[in-house]
Structure 1
């Protein structure tokens, strides 16, 4: 079921998103070689709780952590652990903030120290693909327009677009209808309406889009071992265009 959000609900989600975005801004300086991904997770959880909010992912379908910290070839749902971040790694930090029942969701990819030109290019293309998708999230457009914009941009640059994990509706729960694939056909799918709140979160790879699962049943990684980047925003569809609820200031 798709629920269109009221102005009051959207304002509440924007406050949640402001907290989330602020933590991502702080992560830019925090993440560095020598830290473990468990330390990154603790940093995020502490910041969420200090803001009077709740780390919404803890306990969600049995998940134990405040964040997903996915390194290099890990596509998503990487467990925070004693893995020590190394110079040249890229790490995707994905988390949700629950502020009095209003949930926001955003992932960002961080360069650890100095990364290779290949990793830098992957990050730049993935971020631009996110904004291509957001530009297509207009009242009257269809869900396929979002995926088409992302897919055509990324594939024209020579990258793969992950099919197995997609964006989604968001609100009082983390995952709501509709699903938002990052690939698709222009003019196909559900029509976008004012008041819909969704995430757009493309996962872009250096090689194949196909994935394999780790034995933990959560963590997905690229089948060919190539690296993956991801950027995600929560947004609301408005008559004036898409309004990003997790916008970082300044943008990172």
Structure 2
């Protein structure tokens, strides 16, 4: 990693930390999901940075990949557990960070993912395996009476790329990738009262262009024109021209030009918490860019 890239990562992290905690204060009973999402994304743009991915705002049993839809009328309710997962990019260098907001009765679950993240961060240095990190996350969450979400993971980061190697599990595994100096990584424990595995909902609000192919529909061409400057970073259905959007998106997904991310959820009636920081692995430990 060059000195210039390091500065971009650090700047992205500073912005992400501030905006995430500003957003935390907006999540109150009766507040609008759409207004919180648009306000937080607006703060990124106002700072002169890029939205690395649509703000993930996932409720209760939903763990990840939800965001506000166009015209979303949802309001936060007493007892909700709200995950805010924010991505900020500066010249493509990404800060990925998340926290959980407890609107009633979930303090221990929120603390489980937060404590697991802290324990994982303490381990990070060159030579440590991702399997060791996963085991520490699992032990911390299980010691508090909850389960880690086994099929969600942390990940590496690269310019304009949100999910790269290494994969960082939330459960113990044998071996795994070995951390090296200069890696940018995001560690994100999820703790749950449910099954410990997530599955796909039908709801899809977040998409990503994954290939370049010729398309015929004018509405599909408008979508690709709108997201071209994303350079492969995910986008929200809400950001797109709304005319004929369903047909165009379905066609792009069918052609393999665009991928849709279904909302991921644990069993009905469960609650999931999340915590996340971005780190740069250094010679003797790590810099947490989003703290």
For the criterion TM > 0.5, the same-fold answer is yes
* 1:69 paired residue number: 57
SS of 2:15 mapped into structure 1 = helix
Structure 1 residue 89, shift from structure 2 partner: 1.2
RMSD: 1.4
Residue 84 of structure 2 corresponds to residue 88 of structure 1: no
Runs of 4+ in structure 1 over 6 Å off: none
* 2:89 paired residue number: 98
Structure 1 residue 28, shift from structure 2 partner: 2.9
Residue 67 of structure 2 corresponds to residue 79 of structure 1: yes
Structure 2: runs of 5+ lacking an equivalent: 205-261
SS of 1:223 mapped into structure 2 = coil
Structure with greater Cα Rg: 2
Structure 1 contact 147–185 (Cα < 8 Å) conserved: yes
* 2:284 paired residue number: 240
Q: How does 1:168-179 map onto structure 2 within 5 Å?
A: 168-172=155-159, 173-179=161-167
Distance 2:67 2:22 in 1: 21
Residues 49-80 of structure 1 deviation map (CA, whole Å, 9 limit, x = unaligned): 110011121xxxxxxxx211101111111232
* 1:201 paired residue number: 188
Residue 47 of structure 2 corresponds to residue 51 of structure 1: yes
Structure 1 residue 224, shift from structure 2 partner: 4.7
Residue 37 of structure 2 corresponds to residue 37 of structure 1: no
* 2:100 paired residue number: 109
Distance 1:238 1:47 in 2: 30
* 1:10 paired residue number: 6
Structure 1: runs of 5+ lacking an equivalent: 58-65, 248-252
Distance 1:202 1:235 in 2: 14
Relative to structure 1, the CA distance from residue 193 to residue 202 in structure 2 (aligned partners, 3 Å threshold; closer, same or farther) is: same
Distance 2:10 2:73 in 1: 33
Structure 1 residue 139, shift from structure 2 partner: 1.4
Structure 1 contact 97–104 (Cα < 8 Å) conserved: yes
Q: How does 1:195-234 map onto structure 2 within 5 Å?
A: 195-217=182-204, 218-234=262-278
Distance 1:234 1:19 in 2: 12
Structure 1 contact 235–245 (Cα < 8 Å) conserved: yes
Distance 2:43 2:56 in 1: 16
Structure 1 residue 104, shift from structure 2 partner: 1.1
Structure 1 residue 155, shift from structure 2 partner: 1.4
